[in-house]
Amino acid sequence: MRRLFDMLRSEGRGVDRVVPPTGFTARLTLLTAAAMAFLAVFALALSLATGRLADRWADALARSATIRISAPADQIEAQAAAVLAVLETTPGIESFRILDDAEMKALLDPWFGPDLPVESLPLPKLIEIVETVAGADAEGLRLRLATEAPGAVLDDHTRWRRPLVEAAGRLRTLGLVSLVLIGAATAGMITLAAQAALAANGQVIRVLRLVGARDQFIARAFVRRFTLRGLWGALGGTALGMMAVAVLPEADDAGGFLTGLGFTGAHWLWPLIIPPLAALVAYAATRAAALRMLKEVR
Amino acid sequence: MWRFARPVAVKGWGRAVIELQNVAMSYGGRELLSEMTLRLMPGSFHFLTGPSGAGKTTFLKLCYAELSPSSGMLSLFDRDVRMMTRDDVAAMRQRIGVVHQDCQFLDHLSVAENIALPLSVSRRAADPKELRELLSWVGLRAQADALPPQLSGGERQRAALARAVMMSPDIILADEPTGNLDWEMSQRLLNLLIELNRMGKTVLIATHDLNLIRTAKSQVATRVLRIANQRLQLAGADL
């Protein structure tokens, strides 16, 4: 890393003069770095957004559970009282309450409309539980409920929480894999551009070797130029990418995941690492290509 | 006349600066040079002659390690070239000034920048006064800011010679350095090489120009080598 900074310092300006300016490879490197940085901003935004989503889902659902009591009308109150008694003595339960008719109605409204006569329907009773941070022993609680209140069923949300969190986690992994692939593609494109520049400057390299230039000196001239192009291209692409993310719709509950694709708070700092990373990739790719090619010239 | 500003310390006097022992060189299975044995001592002045295609250029390339011998032992400044790293070769070339037949330059740099290139690659700044004097001496003062493609063949050879001596090297290898020059300019360049030789530099010139050899022999002790039938011989004294 120190070599990279030394090379980029102003003293290197004289060194890369020995290499003639090459318009085609310069434009190709700038464009590639800019395009890849633009894509990297979106991959980063996707990865961070899915990470936030997974955390939110996990947090929201991890500490909550529901007990549903389905029993004949004459037994339901007794079983409800038994369940409450069990919950009172169960470790890991922070609070619990029976959902009232208004809350039941609110839950059913989306499916049956607002005129549903809740009072006249044989609905099960629902008890909402909030666990402590340490959590309750779900299997132990099920066994006790089966004994004390046979009509009670514990739903700790695991069944549908796990695939949601897993899906969000996979999306986050996909975003990170995309970032790695973007980095690799950038390295590949810059290597090709550097090799084209080196091949086009065979005479320059021969003359430099003839007058006693070391491989490091010659490589430095090419590497500095490509590193700076990678850096400037990535700066432009990152700036454009961040602007594009900034004008995406704001996150809201109605939009859900799609409107939450963006950066929040300190996450806006993450894209700033893309330009130096692109410069590092350009440095490593060009240096490897230059030293490999120079070995062919005695 | 342009002179080197710095005094020259002749290193390793008494030891050969270039030594070949039974060196052979093959290209694609065909032996170009064989059984080459030679010791070039510091401060010596040699001409290398021979028919076209005899291997003079190949011999010179061996002498600055652009080529490696197929067999035999070649040492430069008392070091076996087979043991040299690429950085060693680069450092060694800073002590050897080479004038090629085809005079290659960096076409995007000015003539003055090309002549100062050996200093640039060793991270040393050229003394502007010394550079101007050298340009004047080789008759290229007016072309200092020109680009190499704008030079004639003779001007390119003069620029190549100026670049070769810019670093005050210990050895000067020149491949037909006067091939594109008129007699007057050839004399001036020969005088420069003779002056450098008197300062202790080793000079080896590959040439067909017998007049050049005769003129040099009248001013400095020279030996004439000849490549014939793939072998190196000491030429007769009748040149």
Residue A17 counted as domain residue: yes
Chain-centroid distance of CA B235 in Å reads 20
Identify the closest residue of chain A to B93 by CA–CA distance: A212
A78: CB partners within 8 A, 6+ apart: none
Whether chain A has a CB inside 8 Å of the CB on B100: the answer is: yes
Domain boundary among A150, A178, A210: A150
- Cβ of A13 under 8 Å from any chain B Cβ? no
Same domain, A45 and A179: yes
**Which of A22-26, A141-145, A194-198, B154-158 shows the lowest mean pLDDT across its residues?**
A22-26
pLDDT at A13 over 70: no
Q: Could A18 and B65 be called an inter-chain contact, meaning their C-beta atoms sit closer than 8 Å?
A: no
| B chain contacts of residue A20, beta-carbon cutoff 8 Å | 106-108
Domain termination site, one of A94, A119, A150:
A150
- By three-state DSSP, how is residue B167 classified? coil
Q: Which of chain B's residues have a Cβ under 8 Å away from the Cβ of A216?
A: 87
Q: Is A18 on the interface with B (CB under 8 A)?
A: yes
Residue contact A211–B117, C-beta within 8 A: yes
Q: In this structure, are A174 and A290 located in the same domain? A: yes
Q: Say if A220 falls within a structural domain.
A: yes
At A37, is the pLDDT very low, low, confident or very high (cuts 50, 70, 90)? very high
Q: Residue B122: list chain A partners with CB under 8 A.
A: 212
Q: Is B98 on the interface with A (CB under 8 A)?
A: yes
Residue A23 touches partner B, C-beta closer than 8 Å: no
Distance CA B2, CA B78 (A): 31
Contact residues on chain A for B124, CB-CB shorter than 8 A: none
Comparison of pLDDT for A212 and A17, the residue scoring more = A212
Averaged pLDDT, B115-140: 88
Give the ipTM of the model, two decimals please. Answer: 0.84
| B100–A20 C-beta distance less than 8 A | no
Judged by CB atoms within 8 Å, which residues 103-132 of A form the interface with B?
none
Which residue in the set B67, B87, B93 is minimally distant from A210, CB to CB?
B93
- Residue A157 above 50 pLDDT? yes
- Cα A47 to Cα A40, A64, A222, A242, A276: the distances in Å are 10, 27, 34, 15, 20
Do A226 and A275 lie in one domain? The reply is: yes
Partner-chain contact A214 B90, CB within 8 Å: yes
Task: Look at A210 and B65 and tell me if their CB atoms are within 8 Å.
Answer: no
Query: Binning pLDDT at 50, 70 and 90, where does residue B7 land?
Result: very low
Task: Encode burial over A96-112: b for 16+ CB neighbours within 10 A, e otherwise.
Answer: beebeeeebbeeeeeee
* Coil/strand/helix, residue B75: strand
Question: Looking at the structure, do residues A32 and A174 belong to the same domain, yes or no?
Answer: yes
Residue A162 lies in a domain: no
A99 in a structural domain: yes
Residue matched to tokens 């793939």: B230
| pLDDT, averaged across chain B | 86
> Number of structural domains, chain A?
2
- Residues A117 and A200 reside in one and the same domain: no
Average pLDDT over residues B25-34: 87
B108 touches chain A (CB under 8 A): yes
A274 lies in the same domain as A142: no
Same domain, A125 and A233: no
Q: pLDDT category, B11, cuts 50, 70, 90?
A: very low
- pLDDT value of residue B8: 32
Of the candidates A21, A206, A217, which has its C-beta nearest B104's C-beta? A206
Using the structure block, give the residue that is written with the tokens 């430099």. Answer: A208
pLDDT of residue B13: 47
Sign of CA dihedral A157, A160, A164, A165: positive
According to the model, what pLDDT value does residue A47 have? 87
Is residue A159 in a domain?
A: no
What integer pLDDT is reported at residue B239 of this predicted model?
43
Task: Supply the pLDDT for residue B5.
Answer: 37
Give the residue from B85, B42, B50 showing the smallest Cα distance to B65: B85
Closest to A211 measured CA to CA, from B64, B154, B141, B211 = B64
CA dist B80 and B18 (Å) reads 10
Which residue, among B150, B157, B166, B225, has the nearest Cα to B188 in the 3D structure?
B157
Q: Are residues A37 and A181 in the same domain?
A: yes
Whether A175 and A46 map to the same domain: the answer is: yes
Q: Of A93, A115, A150, which marks where a domain is finished?
A: A150
State percent of chain B over pLDDT 90: 53
**Average pLDDT, stretch B204-221?**
91
The pLDDT-based confidence of A9 (bands split at 50, 70, 90) is: low
Could you tell me if A253 and A211 lie in one domain?
A: yes
Give the pLDDT score at A257.
Answer: 55
Judged on CB neighbours under 10 Å (0-12, 13-18, 19+), A136 is buried
Q: What residues of chain A lie within 8 A of the CB of B156, using their CB?
A: none
Indicate which of B106, B115, B123, B124 best probes the interface with A, i.e. most A CBs within 10 Å of its own CB. B106
A21 located within any domain = yes
In this structure, is residue A272 part of a structural domain?
yes
Quote the CA–CA distance of A15 and B122 in Å, as a whole number. 11
pLDDT score at A10 = 46
Residue A179 lies in a domain: yes
- Most A CBs within 10 A among B77, B86, B93, hence the mutation to make, goes to B86
Determine the structural domain holding residue A264 and report its residue range. 2-58+169-294
Contact B108 A20 (CB under 8 A): yes
Identify the band that residue B235 occupies on the pLDDT scale cut at 50, 70 and 90.
Answer: confident
* Residue B93 predicted with pLDDT over 90: yes
Q: Strands, DSSP E only, in B77-148?
A: 79-80, 96-99
Q: Does pLDDT of B219 surpass 50?
A: yes
Mean pLDDT of A78-103: 88
Instruction: Quickly state the pLDDT bin for B189 (edges 50, 70, 90).
Output: confident
Overall average pLDDT of the B130-135 stretch? 90
Inspect the interface and report whether the beta carbons of B106 and A204 lie closer than 8 Å.
Answer: yes
Under the banding of pLDDT at 50, 70 and 90, the label for residue A2 is low
* Number of Cβ atoms within 10 Å of the Cβ of B221: 10
Q: Do A212 and B90 touch (CB under 8 A)?
A: yes
Whether chain A has a CB inside 8 Å of the CB on B89: the answer is yes
The β-bridge partners of B21 are: B73
Query: pLDDT tens digits for A239-275?
Result: 999 999 988 876 555 545 555 677 888 889 999 999 9
My answer on whether A193 and A257 are in the same domain is yes
**Do A76 and A216 belong together in one domain?**
no
- Residue A5's pLDDT band, with cuts at 50, 70 and 90, is low
Size of interface A-B (CB pairs under 8 A): 64
Q: Is B226 on the interface with A (CB under 8 A)?
A: no
Is A292 part of the contact surface with chain B (CB cutoff 8 Å)? no
More confident residue, B222 or B11: B222
**Mean pLDDT of the residues in chain A:** 83
Q: Which of B199, B196, B190, B192 is nearest to B217 (CA)?
A: B190
